[in-house]
Amino acid sequence: MPTAGHSLDRLVHGLDVHSPLTAGDRQLVREVPHAVREVDPHAYLVREGDAPGICSVLITGFAYRHRSTGDGNRQILSIHIPGDAVDLQHLYLEEADHSVQMLTRGTLAVIARTDFEALAEASLTLRRAIVVAMLVEASIFREWIVNVGRRDARTRLAHLLCELAVRQRAQGLADDNSYDLPMTLEHLADATGLTPVHVSRTLKLLEDDGLLLRSKRRMSFPDWRRLCRSADFTYRFLHLEPHSAEMQR
Amino acid sequence: MPTAGHSLDRLVHGLDVHSPLTAGDRQLVREVPHAVREVDPHAYLVREGDAPGICSVLITGFAYRHRSTGDGNRQILSIHIPGDAVDLQHLYLEEADHSVQMLTRGTLAVIARTDFEALAEASLTLRRAIVVAMLVEASIFREWIVNVGRRDARTRLAHLLCELAVRQRAQGLADDNSYDLPMTLEHLADATGLTPVHVSRTLKLLEDDGLLLRSKRRMSFPDWRRLCRSADFTYRFLHLEPHSAEMQR
DNA sequence: CGTACGTTTGATCTTTCTCAATAATGGTGG
DNA sequence: CCACCATTATTGAGAAAGATCAAACGTACG
C-alpha cells in the first residue's frame, strides 16, 4: 500500500480547479489504490500506439504530449503540470494517438485502469469532474490551434507563457509573477510551430519590450497586464472555477 | 412529440462508429425526447460565452467550430458532418469558449441538457460511447495542431481533404472517392491557418499533380493512396472501429 | 441582367526558416 | 573545485514560404 492521502491531493486539487468536488468525492479519490513512481527526465509515460492500461497523475515535475509528422517534425500538443491526470485523453480509447513524455524528473501516482473506472462509477459529481477535466484539456487544444494557426511568433510565445503562468497559479504552484520553465528553445519551438532560432530572437524581443525577464530557466513578468494584452490572452478557455480564477492578476 | 426514430439514427451511428453500442443503447438513444429544427446557412448553433442548455445533433448539413483572435482573425477548429453531436464539447462546461455555426442549410435534433444527461446515466456503455465521442473530437483537435503547426500549405490542405473524406465514408455519407465540400476558400484558409489566396494557389497545385479534381464544389480524388501519402494522412487519430475503418481504401 | 460573392492570377513585401559559426551553460568525473 | 564535454542558446546572412495588395474574371441568384 502506498503512502495514501497526500500524493493524490494533487489530483483532488487538479479536478477541483475546474469542477468543485464534494467532501465525499475528495475522500474517494484519496482512497484509490495507486503506486508512486519516480521518473527520469525524458521518460516516456505513453507511446503512440500503446493500449492504455493505467492512469498516471503528475505529482511533481512537468510532462508534455507530442506527435510527429511523417517527415520527422515534432509538434508538442500540451504541457502538463503537477495535478494533471495525464492519461485521461487515452484511457477510454483503444490505442494512443500520441506520446507523453517527461520534461523533468518527477513523481507519478499510477492508478490501474479498472480502479480509475471504479472511481468514476462511484460518484456522479466525481464522474462529472473527470469529464470536465477532459473537456478543459480539449479547450486548451483548441486554443493551441488558434495560437499556432492565427497568431504571429511574438504573440504565440507570449500566449504560451501566460497559459503556463495561470495554470500553475490555479494549482497553487506559483504565487508571484514568475516560474521556472523547464523547456528548451527546441521544446518552445515545437510547441509553437516555430524554429528554435526564431524562438530565441522572439524571446529577446519580449525581453527588450520589458514584458519578460529571464535568468537561467526562471521566467518573470514585470508587467503581467501588458503581457496578457500582447499575448491576446484571455482566461475563458481555461474554464477555471471563480475561486481559482481569483489568482488572476 | 417529434418524428421519433430515424432522425436520431444518425446519432446512433455517430456514436457507434467509435464505440460499439448495445441494442438496448440504440433503443435508449432513439427514444430520447428531441425537437427537429431546420437551420439556415450561417446560423449560429452556439456563441462564445453562451451557457450551454441543449445538445444539438447534426442530422443533415455541415457545421463548423471557430474562434477569433483579438485582432479579428478567425480560426476554424473543426468541421462537423451529419451524425456529430455538436455540443459535447460545451455541455458540461459553464460557458462556451468558442462558437459553432452552420456551413450549409441543415436539420438538427435538439435534445435538452437534462434529457441528454439522463441518457448518459441510463447505461454504462452509452456513457462510455459519449465520452469516447468527446475524446475522438479531442484527438482531431490534436491532429489539427500538428497540421497547422508543422505541415506546409500543400500537405495541410490535402490532410484536411482526407480527413473529411474518411469521416464521411465512416458515416456512410460518401461511397466513392468524392464528396461535396461546402467550404469557400476563406473557410479553407481559416481552417488551415493560411490566406484564401494561398489556398487557391495550393489547390491548383494539387490539381496539377493529379491528386484532386474540382468541379463546382465537388471534390474528387483520382489517386487516393497517393493523396494520403502526400497529405501525411494516417487513420489512427480518427479512432474508427474496425468495421468502420473497412471503408478505408 | 445586374449585383454580390467567390475565385484566380500577378507583383511585391514580410515573416519566418535555413545554414553556419560562436558563445554560454550545466552536469560529470577527476 | 575545476576541467571537460555535451547540450543549449545566440547571432548573422541569405533563402523561401506564405502574406498582402490589387485587379480581373466567374458564377449564382434575386
Three-state DSSP class for A60?
strand
Per CB-CB distance under 8 Å, the chain A contacts of B113 are none
pLDDT tens-digit series, residues A1-46: 444 448 899 999 999 999 999 999 999 999 999 999 999 999 999 9
Distance CA A110, CA A112 (A): 7
Q: Does A145 touch chain B (CB under 8 A)?
A: yes
Residue A53 main-chain phi, psi, to 5 deg? -125, -10
Distance CA B43, CA B65 (A): 12
Other Cβ atoms closer than 10 A to A218: 11
Cβ atoms of A155 and A225 closer than 8 Å: no
Return averaged pLDDT per consecutive 10 residues of chain A, 249 residues in all. Answer: 66 92 93 94 94 94 96 97 96 96 95 95 94 97 98 98 95 88 97 98 96 92 96 96 62
Return averaged pLDDT per consecutive 10 residues of chain B, 249 residues in all. Answer: 66 92 94 95 95 94 96 96 96 96 95 95 94 97 98 98 95 88 97 98 96 92 96 96 62
Distance CA B35, CA B7 (A): 10
Question: Can you give the pLDDT at residue A176?
Answer: 80
Q: Number of CB pairs < 8 Å for A and B?
A: 124
Residue B105 C-alpha, separation from nearest chain A C-alpha, in angstroms: 25
In this complex, the nucleotide whose C1' atom is nearest to the CA atom of residue B214 is C7
In this complex, the nucleotide whose C1' atom is nearest to the CA atom of residue A181 is D8
Q: Shortest CA distance to B29 belongs to which of B116, B102, B88, B110?
A: B116
pLDDT tens-digit series, residues A167-186: 999 998 887 889 999 999 99
Q: Does B94 touch chain A (CB under 8 A)?
A: yes
Distance CA B228, CA B236 (A): 13
The answer to whether B201 CB is within 7 Å of strand C is yes
* H or E stretch covering A111: strand A106-112
Q: Which residues in range 207-246 of chain A are in contact with strand C, contact meaning CB within 7 A of any of its atoms?
A: 216-217
Q: Do B146 and A69 touch (CB under 8 A)?
A: yes
Distance in angstroms: CA A212, C1' C15:
22
Residue B243 C-alpha, separation from nearest chain A C-alpha, in angstroms: 14
Other Cβ atoms closer than 10 A to B225: 9
Residue A140 C-alpha, separation from nearest chain B C-alpha, in angstroms: 10
Question: Can you give the pLDDT at residue A132?
Answer: 96
The answer to whether B107 CB is within 7 Å of strand D is no
Q: Do A236 and B95 touch (CB under 8 A)?
A: yes
**Nucleotides of strand D within 7 Å of the protein's CB atoms:** 7-13, 17-22, 27-28
Q: Which residues in range 21-80 of chain A are in contact with strand C, contact meaning CB within 7 A of any of its atoms?
A: none
By C-alpha distance, the chain A residue nearest B138 is: A138
By C-alpha distance, the chain B residue nearest A191 is: B149
CA dist A173 → A54, A81, A100, A169, B58 (Å): 25, 9, 21, 6, 42
Q: Shortest CA distance to B231 belongs to which of B177, B151, B165, B175?
A: B151
Cβ atoms of A208 and A160 closer than 8 Å: no
The answer to whether A178 CB is within 7 Å of strand C is no
One-letter amino acid for residue A161 of the chain? L
Residue B91 C-alpha, separation from nearest chain A C-alpha, in angstroms: 9
Strands (E), A15-73: 35-39, 44-46, 54-60, 63-68
Q: Does B66 touch chain A (CB under 8 A)?
A: no
Question: Can you give the pLDDT at residue A1?
Answer: 42
Specify which residue's alpha carbon is closest to the C1' of nucleotide C24.
A216
Q: Which residue has the cell 527588450?
A: A208
In this complex, the nucleotide whose C1' atom is nearest to the CA atom of residue A73 is C17
The answer to whether B194 CB is within 7 Å of strand D is yes
Distance in angstroms: CA A35, C1' C20:
49
Which of residues 146 through 205 in chain B touch A, CB cutoff 8 A?
A: 146, 148-151, 192-193
Q: Do A145 and B150 touch (CB under 8 A)?
A: no
Per CB-CB distance under 8 Å, the chain A contacts of B143 are 67, 97
The answer to whether A182 CB is within 7 Å of strand C is no
Question: Can you give the pLDDT at residue A249?
Answer: 53
The whole-angstrom distance between residue A1's C-alpha and the CA centroid of its chain comes to: 28
By C-alpha distance, the chain B residue nearest A241 is: B94
Q: Do A237 and B97 touch (CB under 8 A)?
A: yes
Question: Can you give the pLDDT at residue B244?
Answer: 66
A97: nearest CB among B98, B142, B150: B142
